[in-house]
Amino acid sequence: MKAIVLISVAATACVAPTPAAEPAPRKPAADGAEPASAEWLYATEGVKGGRVAECRQLVEVLSAEAGCKGALCSHAASLSKDWLRLCKARTPALAPSVEAQADLLSKRAAQVPAPCEAEAQRLLGKSCEGERDCPKAAQGWATRCAEWSTPLVVRMLEVMVERKVGERAQIDGRGCGELLGDVAKAGACAQQFACQDGFPTIEVYEQRCVSPSRPLSSTAAVLALAVRAGATPRVEPLVIAAADKLDPALVPLALEDGKGAVLMTCGKRATSIDAYLGLRAACADEALVLARRFDGPSGPVMRVGRIDHRSDADFLALFPSLRVEGEPKARYRAALPGFTDALEQAQLGADSEALAQRLRLLIATIDKHADAVRNSSAFEKALRDRDGALLPLFAALGAAKRKAVHADQSSDRFVPALHRSLSHPLADVDADGRVRLGAVTAAGSVELADLLPKAIAAYRDELSGRVKLLDKKKLTVAAADRLAVAAHGAASRCGQAMKAFEAAEATLIGCAFGVQACDDAKLESETQAAVGARRQAELAWPKVALALASLPPDQRAGATKAAELAGCREPWW
């Protein structure tokens, strides 16, 4: 912001002008014309070269005022009028731009003062009357109302303070947004002493932008904790405002749930999701430092936690709720080449052994990337692009299923197997790629019809003869009840496992953030509980999905609703 020296404050709409200090005597101009605005004298103080030089200087001054708002534009409007009266003939080439600006400034100055404008005029007009600390009041306005401030207004406040306290004053025109940006820059520190150097930056922000009526935002708290966590191992929680969103421009590694962010990754700072995952991949037996919001007795607080990072896979398995925004998509991108390579290999060979090998590869690939297959458009496209190439494989699978689900079977065995085979083509195929009724894998619970329309059509053509038998082979009521009971039991086990995992994860997070006291034995116990519960949930979900798919479509709704009520849902990791 360019400093401009003034001798007084000109009147604004509905507000009396501040009394001006007497300027130094000056010789009358040759033509006898003198400025009418007090602002002119301060804006041109020290300028050498006569009136023409002053006119050129004022063009720069007016340019700096182009961003003024509302009634506070009256000061620049007064200058522009004086310029047109005294400078237009002297510097005609500059006149068009000043004329356009003068009209705009006059229109803005005629507006009703906004709260920030009214406060500035009160401070200027009454010289901080009623304020215990005049410099603090002026600086407070400049910080909170930075969007209304201009070089002229800031200098006016400085002159007012100088008159009040009798010494030179300098006001920082940066607003809370800019000060918070400085805190974010300080939080990029990687060494302890460099982080300690950022403490004054935090203090300036808190002094000017935080008060009981304006508590720390979640973003400000995360940025402040990023500095402090790099400077000292023990960081006290910060009281924050009611839950608000983190600013992605300032907090690039915010958690998916919006409650916090990653501060340090194995002793280093990352500013992008790809850099973060790169550090995670290379990190073993170190720690992640995070900030996370918790509800405290007096309201929400932002805490710092340190969590052991034995490996990327282990951390991801134990703490799915601590994923950062964009992490799943970034992981999908990284895994896509390996997925597509595996699909290229999954084509039909010359014999049944080759079929099993390729099915084994396909099932292992989908098992590994089940989440991406369900949720990533890139993975869906990869499958669709290879629909034709996979057609022979699925046609052969259909032929193998036709042999396994044969007409001699009882209705209670035939009907469920055929129903789930139609909706889930990889159902009843074990991890070795062998068709075996009752076999369950994660890949078997994935519906592929929309992803591989041609391949699944060929697969169903092989089963068309079996489908015709569905009209003759009806599932008995007792068998349907047994399937519904089995689905409900699997759903209950699935829901219980998911709840147990969530509880163990929450406990581990509470330990890491100091919400509760935990010794090594408790940490190990909860870790084992989380690992076991997660495994149970991962095994239970495909069983539930295939149990429901075994029922005739018109009998699934009630069982599906019961599974949902049991708390079983598709794993989110």
Residue with tokens 């303070």: 161
Lookup: tokens for 113: 């003062």
Per-residue confidence (pLDDT) for residue 32, from 0 to 100: 52
In sequence order, the β-bridge partners of residue 305 are 290
The band of 251, judged by pLDDT with boundaries at 50, 70 and 90, is very high
- Reduced 3-state DSSP string for 153-201: HHHHHHHHHHHHHCCCCCCCCCCHHHHHHHHHHHCCCCCHHHHHCCHHH
Residue 148 confidence (pLDDT) above 70: yes
Asked if residue 159 and residue 67 are part of one domain, the reply reads yes
CA-based Rg of the chain, rounded to a whole angstrom? 36
Asked if residue 353 and residue 227 are part of one domain, the reply reads no
State CA 318 to chain mean position distance.
21
* Rounded Cα distance, 8 and 152, in Å: 11
Q: Of 111, 143, 171, which marks where a domain is finished? A: 171
**pLDDT tens, position by position, 468-506:** 998 888 888 888 888 888 888 888 888 899 999 999 999
Residue with tokens 């958690």: 255
**pLDDT tens, position by position, 349-382:** 656 668 899 999 999 999 999 889 989 999 999 9
Per-residue confidence (pLDDT) for residue 129, from 0 to 100: 79
State the DSSP code for 304.
E
Asked if residue 354 and residue 214 are part of one domain, the reply reads no
The band of 21, judged by pLDDT with boundaries at 50, 70 and 90, is very low
Which residue, 62, 55, 47, is CA-closest to 152? 62
Per-residue confidence (pLDDT) for residue 4, from 0 to 100: 36
Q: Is residue 302 part of a domain?
A: yes
Q: Is residue 570 part of a domain?
A: no
Asked if residue 197 and residue 288 are part of one domain, the reply reads yes
Spatial CB neighbours of 519, under 8 Å, sequence gap ≥ 6: none
Sheet with 286-296, strands from edge to edge, namely 238-239, 299-309, 286-296, 260-265
Asked if residue 9 and residue 102 are part of one domain, the reply reads yes
**pLDDT tens, position by position, 203-225:** 999 999 998 888 999 999 999 99
Q: Of 443, 471, 499, which marks where a domain is finished? A: 471
Asked if residue 459 and residue 519 are part of one domain, the reply reads no
- Reduced 3-state DSSP string for 403-425: HHCCCCCCHHHHHHHHHHHHHCC
Phi, psi of 238 (to 5 degrees): -115, 130
**pLDDT tens, position by position, 94-141:** 999 899 999 999 999 998 888 998 888 888 888 787 777 889 899 999
Which residue, 370, 349, 317, is CA-closest to 505? 317
Q: Is residue 148 part of a domain?
A: yes
Spatial CB neighbours of 162, under 8 Å, sequence gap ≥ 6: 168, 169
Q: Of 171, 189, 219, which marks where a domain is finished? A: 171
Phi, psi of 515 (to 5 degrees): -75, -30
In sequence order, the β-bridge partners of residue 309 are 286
Asked if residue 338 and residue 312 are part of one domain, the reply reads no
For the segment 411-430, the average pLDDT, to the nearest whole number, is 94
Asked if residue 121 and residue 8 are part of one domain, the reply reads yes
In 210-326, where does DSSP find H-type helix? 218-231, 273-282, 312-318
In sequence order, the β-bridge partners of residue 286 are 309
Per-residue confidence (pLDDT) for residue 506, from 0 to 100: 96
Lowest-confidence region among 245-259, 319-333, 398-412, 478-492: 478-492
Which residue, 425, 411, 424, 551, is CA-closest to 469? 411
Asked if residue 157 and residue 43 are part of one domain, the reply reads yes
3-state secondary structure of 418: helix
Residue 463 confidence (pLDDT) above 80: yes
Structurally, how many domains does the chain consist of? 4
What type of residue sits at position 474? K
Asked if residue 122 and residue 198 are part of one domain, the reply reads no
Q: Is residue 303 part of a domain?
A: yes
For the segment 388-400, the average pLDDT, to the nearest whole number, is 93
Domain ranges, residue 457: 332-471
